[in-house]
Structure 1
Amino acid sequence: MMAGGTLAGAGESGGHTLIYLARHGQTPLNESGVLRGLADPPLDETGRDQAQRLGARLGPLGLWAVISSPLLRARQTAQPIAERAGLEVATDQCLVDRDYGQWTCISRDAVVAQWGSVDRAPGAGPRSAVAGQAVKGLSDIARRYLGGSVTVVSHDAVNRQVLVAFDAGLGDPDTIPQDNGCFNTLLWKGGGWAVLSVNELPEGP
């Protein structure tokens, strides 16, 4: 899915950075319908295949860095990309998933039925905290690798907040598709962001 958008933010000049913002591959919890958050399951067989496809698609693009959420499913997804690029996986806390507190590993539908939405459930980390942390972190990464390209691997709850922060025209974050093993293309230029594509899925072998 291609996306257009003006550069969000302003103030800095010179240079640009391409960031490929990926979502980790599938885990058993993705299939179960529960809130995952800071739970730390590994990729399942499908997820490992999705990670290999991302590696084949993004690894050869001349990346300067591969940076992952510290959670296992993201690190395992980042590894094939880094291997193809001849790099090591770095981790950054700014990419970590939303903390659902006591509702972690509880059915999303059950939480919504009880509280009306996940956002109203007591103890669930606020979306604003996720967005603020990720936007600042990605901007720092873009500055650090100015002139290059970077793959970062995060989570759907993070990616959706980032995409809307960088392109409000994308609408409600909950409606933005973020399939397991997808990536989005972001451009940092002149101190602002543009979303170039959303929810791209690498082709299979």
Structure 2
Amino acid sequence: MSSIDLYLCRHGRTPLNAAGRLRGRLDPDLDLVGQSEARDLADLLSPLQPTRVVSSPLGRARQTATPIAVAGGLGVEFDGRLIDRSYGQFDGALREDLIAQYGSINAAPGLEPETEVAERSVAALTDLALSGASGPIVVVTHDAVLRYALDALVPDYTPTELLPPRTGSWALLRYTDGVWELIQADSKDDPIETALAER
């Protein structure tokens, strides 16, 4: 039985996150909190000796992935399928305004369909799981990608994990002979200490 661990990270905070605005395909840089979150992720994940660091091409993900890759002596690879959901004309809009106007974000017109986000993100993660990597892979992406991918791959995970993951958090998704298992979600703890505590 062979398995591969994917550490799925949400990028660090940006000014749009702090303001409660949808990021989508906009490309804000990390703010000071986000830069600190990126450094923290590098400190937490580098002892795992990842073999690859794969990122969404958007700047906030790239800026989060770079310290992780540098700490491991790796380069950052980019996969366009990990890019954030497009909110169309509502990129940059206040979340609360969309909810007030349409009842929910998903009810707003012109958004990239949830099914398309799920399909492309699942395809990207599956390709990584089947890539033959010799050790853990770090993936840096966005909350929508994480939520829809996990909902598709691990449909029985608990309702609390349906909430958007925090910026600068990681989740451990394990692939073993065609079966996906969510080991940890939305964590900012030391992954090695977490694994030892669960033994």
By relative contact order (CA 8 Å, sep 6+), the higher-ranking structure is 1
1:69 Cα deviation from its structure 2 partner: 0.4
Q: In the TM superposition, what whole-angstrom CA distance separates every residue of 1:135-184 from its partner, at most 9, and x where no partner exists?
A: 01100011113442100000111111122222222355884241110000
In terms of mean alpha carbon deviation, does 109-118 or 22-31 score higher? 109-118
1:197 Cα deviation from its structure 2 partner: 0.4
Instruction: Indicate the residue corresponding to 2:79 in structure 1.
Output: 92
Instruction: Indicate the residue corresponding to 2:167 in structure 1.
Output: 180
2:161–2:185 CA contact under 8 A, matched in 1: no
Partners of 1:63 and 1:73 lie apart in 2 by 20
In structure 2, give the amino acid aligned to 1:182. S
1:119 pairs, out of 106, 123, 131, with: 106
**SS of the residue aligned with 2:130?**
helix
CA RMSD of aligned residues (A): 1.6
1:60 Cα deviation from its structure 2 partner: 2.4
Instruction: Indicate the residue corresponding to 2:48 in structure 1.
Output: 61
2:6–2:138 CA contact under 8 A, matched in 1: yes
Partners of 2:137 and 2:189 lie apart in 1 by 17
1:60–1:84 CA contact under 8 A, matched in 2: no
In structure 1, give the amino acid aligned to 2:138. T
1:16–1:148 CA contact under 8 A, matched in 2: no
Structure 1 residue ranges without an equivalent (≥5): 1-13
1:200 pairs, out of 172, 187, 199, with: 187
2:83–2:142 CA contact under 8 A, matched in 1: yes
Structure 2 residue ranges without an equivalent (≥5): 191-199
Instruction: Indicate the residue corresponding to 1:141 in structure 2.
Output: 128
Q: In the TM superposition, what whole-angstrom CA distance separates every residue of 1:90-141 from its partner, at most 9, and x where no partner exists?
A: 1101111000000011111111211122212111111111111000110001
1:1-205 matches, cutoff 5 A: 14-170=1-157, 175-202=162-189
Instruction: Indicate the residue corresponding to 1:3 in structure 2.
Output: none
1:16–1:146 CA contact under 8 A, matched in 2: no
Partners of 1:42 and 1:194 lie apart in 2 by 32
What TM-score do you get using the length of structure 1 for normalisation? 0.88
